[in-house]
Structure 1
């Protein structure tokens, strides 16, 4: 069976973006046609980025609250099973629509990664199902590469934000695997053995706003808050718990998979490993 999908996973700062680009380059060099979707892609075919979900009655309330922006909200909303999706980041970044902070705050509170866990699972699994069905209907021989949306995003929602049980988090990812198994996917997990060093490196290389937002997200809600974790040490603790759960899920997934150690951040070594993996 031809491989249609490659999944790149790992903790923040592990090198997922670099490895995903490298995998794309290697496959293109082999004469393959490749579609690469990295973290933050506003047109991701199997995930949502900067999209809010509204039940019909809640959408009516939003329009009533912000009557001056009714027309722009109605014209950009996407009907979804008698409900509505608002692609607020695409509205701003691709369509140049500037909404007041209060309107954006109200919309962000309904982001698909801010809503209750059960609603998130339903919307995300449906999106993966549609992606898989659409890909299977085509004769294109593209290989699609996804960065971080298969394991990271479900666990960020289920563990980090909502502190769901281990069983619920495991079942979330296993359900995505059941959906995509017909695509003969390959999972490449990028490992970093020293999580504290990896996070410190990411903090030193990225804007201060990123590290402050990340630490706040990981310690002031969900699992981190329940454990009383704080600051950089607390964030590292949550990341360690996340890795333990990701390792367990990795072992449960009955699919083609590779655990790639990138602790040394050696690009040439990683490229040689990838070339062997992607033969």
Structure 2
């Protein structure tokens, strides 16, 4: 079994990086499977809410061990985000677990990976505030901070610190960064740290793929005129969901602000959501349906994908 795990603080670009790695490995002839945080029936991340630290650790470690045991002979490279640092740190910090206990627990996960060919890509900033402020800017600024604090303030981390307001969530993120940074510095698996403070992705992606031993194969180029045939509304009665594909100034978009990037002439993907789309033609110049074929909690929960029939332009 081979794993590539992408880690970093929330908003550091983990999802886009995981997608990029998976796609580049695929284009280099490596069979891959990508597991975003939004993947339906995720093999590692816990779906149930557990409000006891010891029970949470036991359940999470059990899922790791089950995944490793069940896939020991797998030839596919599995690309994960957030399963080694982010999920344990955030969930256990919410429960106000002692930081030394969090570190010990993640060391236990690392020990269970000793038999696995595992590589870690860690995205960081020397000043964690750079990444935190960037994330806030893209997610709504002070209103995002307020909403996030309101969402999580019932957890022990916030209760035990006197509910001092939204700024407490900034301390939470700083605590997260310190724990993750320590874990990376002591990490015993094959790893690379990428300081993405300057958001220079072309350079960073080149460094990552060199670390993984593969070349970069760019997305196919499709003109805006060629992309126009994909515009329209598509409906899945099974899911009770209608999606709109629309044209932006630089390409196709779905869900309003999510850019569809070309995987092939009629296949597209999203960076940060577990969703790929294939437009199907039936001898016509315009597609009659679109198939979403990655398992996602919103757009597709089926192994064979979900069909959306075109209803209008």
Fold similarity call, TM over 0.5: yes
Q: Deviations over 1:202-234 (max 9, x none)?
A: 233236886444233565533344344744533
Larger Rg: 2
Mean Cα displacement is larger for which, 240-249 or 9-18? 240-249
Structure 2 runs not aligned, ≥5 long: 214-313
Which residue pairs with 2:209 in the alignment? Answer: 275
Aligned ranges 1:1-279 → 2 under 5 Å: 4-48=2-46, 51-52=47-48, 111=49, 114-136=50-72, 138=73, 140-159=74-93, 161-206=94-139, 211-217=145-151, 221-228=155-162, 230-279=164-213
Looking at structure 2, the residues matched to 176 and 8 of structure 1 have their Cα atoms a distance apart, in angstroms, of 15
| Aligned CA distance change for structure 1 residues 218 and 237 (closer, same or farther; 3 Å) | farther
Contact 1:186 1:257 in 2 (8 A): yes
Contact 2:119 2:191 in 1 (8 A): yes
Contact 2:6 2:122 in 1 (8 A): yes
Higher helix share: 1
Looking at structure 2, the residues matched to 229 and 254 of structure 1 have their Cα atoms a distance apart, in angstroms, of 37
Q: Deviations over 1:147-190 (max 9, x none)?
A: 0021111111212x111112210121111111122112111111
Q: TM-score, normalised by structure 2?
A: 0.62
Matched residue SS, 1:164: coil
Structure 1 runs not aligned, ≥5 long: 53-110
| Aligned CA distance change for structure 1 residues 156 and 135 (closer, same or farther; 3 Å) | same
Matched residue SS, 1:127: helix
Looking at structure 2, the residues matched to 192 and 239 of structure 1 have their Cα atoms a distance apart, in angstroms, of 13
How far the C-alpha of 1:34 sits from its partner, in A, is 0.8
Matched residue SS, 1:185: strand
Matched residue SS, 1:181: coil
Looking at structure 2, the residues matched to 274 and 206 of structure 1 have their Cα atoms a distance apart, in angstroms, of 26
How far the C-alpha of 1:142 sits from its partner, in A, is 0.7
Looking at structure 2, the residues matched to 277 and 34 of structure 1 have their Cα atoms a distance apart, in angstroms, of 17
Paired positions, count? 212
Mean Cα displacement is larger for which, 9-18 or 228-237? 228-237
RMSD of aligned Cα (Å): 2.2
Q: TM-score, normalised by structure 1?
A: 0.69
Matched residue SS, 2:42: coil
Contact 1:195 1:236 in 2 (8 A): no
Looking at structure 1, the residues matched to 115 and 35 of structure 2 have their Cα atoms a distance apart, in angstroms, of 20
Looking at structure 2, the residues matched to 272 and 218 of structure 1 have their Cα atoms a distance apart, in angstroms, of 37
How far the C-alpha of 1:198 sits from its partner, in A, is 2.4
Matched residue SS, 1:257: strand
How far the C-alpha of 1:12 sits from its partner, in A, is 0.8
Higher strand share: 2
Looking at structure 2, the residues matched to 21 and 130 of structure 1 have their Cα atoms a distance apart, in angstroms, of 24
